[in-house]
Amino acid sequence: MKHRLLQVLPVVLGIALLNFLVLQLAPGDVVDVLAGEAGAASPEAMAALRAQFGLDRSVIAQLGSYLWNLAHLDLGFSYRQNMPVAELILTRLPATLLLMGLALTIALALGTLLGTLTALKPGGWFDHVVSVLVLFAYAMPTFWLGLMGLVLFAGKLGWLPAGGMLTVGLDQGAWALVVDVARHAVLPALTLSTFYLAVYARLMRGSMIETLSADFIRTARAKGASEPRVLIAHALRNASVPLVTMLGYQVASLLSGAVLVESVFSWPGLGRLAFEAILARDFNLLLGILLLSSLLVTVINIAVDLVTVLIDPRVELQAARA
């Protein structure tokens, strides 16, 4: 684990360099966007803005300034939003963490439940029904599912809000605030969790079938352990190791999926902010979001390693031997 922690700094530094160099290849900059919004701008005015923003310097000079600012924990300034990047990101981060947490909770809970139930009687009618539903959820485009959810539950039935995170002007106490946020989060969280629920259900099914046929399960049953104890205390714990491992690998794709979901539902998180930054060519803001996302993925992968060791201590022993 100490070795993994020592790898974080060079990995994040390499990602920061790669992000900076890739964004330098993108056409246009924030000055072009500001000039377009203004309707017209003289070449002299645009040149003055680029000089003010430091965009007229060489790529090496800009890279040096960027790395120097990172060393001092400064993510720069968003000229499009007219506020520091770090402050802007911190205002949007809680919304994304809430959405990701809800989506992962739904995906893990339902995926584990469906995978376990189908593994008890593989090939039965319930297994076939779940397999069809899982295949449908796996193949369904996230943005299409979100739009259909908006049309049905917000447009036709009117059960849920059409977008945003809070009702404008709501001021009825803490509990009313929690309920309002929960109602706004239902559709985006379910939409974001659908693909991962399908993945976890199939993975859990295969892992449970393999685990239930293991020797230690037969030994536990021979010793007189009840079937619920065999299933929960022995089989489920061992079968969940691949599920937890897969969770660490899918955090990055979950963040990328949040860009679509937050854009569809107008959810005020980092995904929507990144989309806005791309449209506005706000590269300072986009670099900050990408760097924070990289740190988040790295930290979660380390946390997943710790959880995996807690579930199955043999993992740490095998890593030490390797």
DSSP per residue, 80-127: TTTEEHHHHHHHHHHHHHHHHHHHHHHHHHHHHHHHHHHHHSTTSHHH
List, by residue range, all CATH 1.10.3720.10 domains of the chain: 92-321
Retrieve residue 255's tokens.
Answer: 């963040």
CATH T-level assignment (fold) for domain 92-321: MetI-like fold (1.10.3720)
Region class of 24: left (phi > 0), else alpha (psi between -120 and 50), else beta: alpha
- The one-letter amino acid code at 90 reads L
What pTM was computed for the model? 0.81
| pLDDT tens per residue across all 322 residues of the chain | 556 666 677 877 888 888 888 888 877 777 777 776 666 677 777 788 788 777 788 888 888 888 888 888 888 888 888 889 888 989 988 898 898 889 988 988 898 899 888 888 888 888 889 889 888 888 888 878 888 888 888 888 888 888 888 777 666 677 778 888 888 889 999 988 888 888 888 888 888 888 888 887 888 788 877 777 878 777 777 777 777 777 777 776 777 778 888 888 888 888 888 888 888 888 888 888 888 888 887 777 777 777 777 766 655 544 444 4
Cα dist from 300 to 96, 138, 214, 297, whole Å: 15, 24, 30, 5
| Amino acid in the structure at residue 279 | L
